Structure 1
């Protein structure tokens, strides 16, 4: 049960739901999707190719249609056809016959000249039964007594009554040729533009080689066949033989992309003739491509699953191991082992979490130490400060000074000294733990005045304080041990007059660099001094206590001692303003 709710099991479940299951679904669904997509893309590409193919066919049909309207371009030709249709040719004299024959044998062929070799020629059939053949090749002419009027294409042109008629593939058996040529044609009934009287039937023929050339120039990505059906669904042309059953099924297909037998059918209409160009794509090859996709898909899916499982177990181990280590460290901390730390590896979120945990443990340890030391230092500092101020020899000397003042009758100075002592005792006993710089300096002034009772003219006091520093807060009695040290160890051993200098000033780094601005307090005496090499040895318990209290109150503060033997000692205290302002 515990394993089921473990982080590894949850990651495994998440892995299966988000990766394995979709991968399996995609493996089965994607081939089907790509099958439809492949068929659709092939259909679209085929339709695009068919558009080009039908455009080429339409170009040839337009050219044939242009040839059938050539008689209308010449008044001489139209007059000749009217003479033929009305019987005027038979009654005309030799000159008029010459003009009629010239129009039909010379003028009309000039209009019918065509640079395309695949357009074989035209045949003009006036209503008097005569035949005029214009050919790209030198044939002898039409077959004698050929029944033109009985031909389906002739009747279709007459029924169209002047409109264009597209004739399906037929044999050019009406010309005197060794082997008839298969052609497709465009026919039109030529009518009198004045009264609409039928004058002749004209037909232009094109070789079916054109269709073969156009069809074989088109390539597809699978094996295919191209077939062309006329407006009666009769097969005109195909690149390969088609069974009658397949022809019937293909002709009945209404939508592109449908499957007939083993072919995907795509068609395009040749608009003017209402012919239908059909492409039959091999469905077997499309399925073969799809089978390859299935195989590749299954292989990739299998490899992907194996690789992702390996990656999962590797990554899950890398995720879970640090968490287990964190749990062990937290258990040690719970038992009081505050020195325990998480081993950090890498720079990811887990490593960041471990770093934060280490930092939290370190801060907890520091907080415990700080609180303990702060309480202890505060108690000892207050004890030592009171002890320093009320020690017996100090009170004894002070009281002796008071007796001396009384004997000489200097009651005013005696009263002032007693008031100073009283004020000092009140400051020590009644004031809170923090004070201002101004109040601390006032206390030091009174303290030094009492000391001067002992030393008389031997000690001179100079106090300089920047008014801007008055309001900054510092711990109570922070400076007194420094001044006491200067008097006892610096001035008292001397047999000459000495000076004690206390200064307080602000050092501002500028408005843009508030972090570097400091409150600087210096206590300087010109007494005995000592060698700079022995500074640490000369720092007694009082000054060590000051340094500890200073750093507990202001973490970025500094306490520096400089001394020279025979010249005196300077103690400098530097407190950042941003800390002193809090």
Structure 2
């Protein structure tokens, strides 16, 4: 803000005009962008819905063809005559098998490549022709299956829901089945058996492969168990069960959000087939042309403003020349010449300003007498600025820690560990209660309680990969230190010692008294800090006026720099901040002046 105040009036006028023009252009551009994006989304959804409905109609037609395929036994009198008889000898059984299975191979299977297995069965015999090394799952107990009993009770064809079965090797293949009862042509009351056709999704896949959803779109087919039977396009190749269920659910709406991004979803349910067609478009890919057009519009506006700024500068220089003369006289007054006076040429705003300037020069002598009072006010302003800097550093550290703690609780909830999550919420509540007083001094006992609550939350995530100990001087627990002095150091130890590796990590918090100073140490057995990173951190510590992250170093150093600057603001050069990474792991030590007594070290295990 101070740099803006130092700008010349001409610069401010030009900047204000350019800003207003830019704001109008940006508002209009973004308004058009959102309007066109809504129009494009609606148009895409409408066209996509028509496409998948047509694909669903083609799939229904394909299923009806399979229904008609199960009627072909009625066109072979020899087959029907064979099914009406009961074999009385092994030779007759062999002859019946040759007739039936020959028909299944030549008529029902070979002409259609998607047919995997065909069966004709009744209560006494089972005939089959398969192209796979695996029979149907109910091969040995088909008489007890629901679909067999259902087929025997109705003359309508039955479509078994899509499912995944072993067909070739150990991989599961999506298949579906058509079942129909066979009756005698001479006496419709006589049931000859049941025909069952198992088919893969080659026919349906061929239909779906012809669907063109443009770039960035994917077509999926899922069954009633939310298993993916077909997918096309490179948009959504891998989905977990929860995401597939959310995509298929109409309650999800037309927009789906996941960790991968935002998607537009069209659904078409084929209840008779037991499948759902899903057309998914990437919202980002769909909006990319509009976003590129928006960027071009803004760039064009910036170019136009540069031209306009040049014209405005010329006009302002002509109209504000008297004002600039007054400014030149002001510089003379600043140099000590109190005899100068501005010439009043008019009675407009600039003339009024010239008169005021002359009055100001005349009253400048009396203002010198108030130097002492003004000096005191400047001292007070510097003190308030220092206090504001301290409060700003405190406020910067809050979201840095909260993000990591909330991320741990989120992982617990997603894993279904609700009882542990309740405990974690209690720990978080305790932690939040501690950071509410982040701008105040708290007891070392309270600070360690906050650290233990944080470590309990983090330990739930890493389990036996993370252990910790807290050993403090018993007589120092009631001494006060700035809030959140140790917790960010522990957080950095977790992030850089435990998170990037699988070995067990130990974190230790210790304290001791050295020459009337309190020494607090946070130690880990991690890989340590690289020399380059450590050098950047130390260089930033030597620049007290630089803000967090101003050194261009790792974002993980933000917590360290904030603690260091808070301690320096609070205790001045009496505070010390040391980082030792020469051996295995890292040890961060703090030294602050605290008048504590006692030398007894105890294991800290109580929240008090």
Scaled by the length of structure 1, what TM-score is found? Answer: 0.40
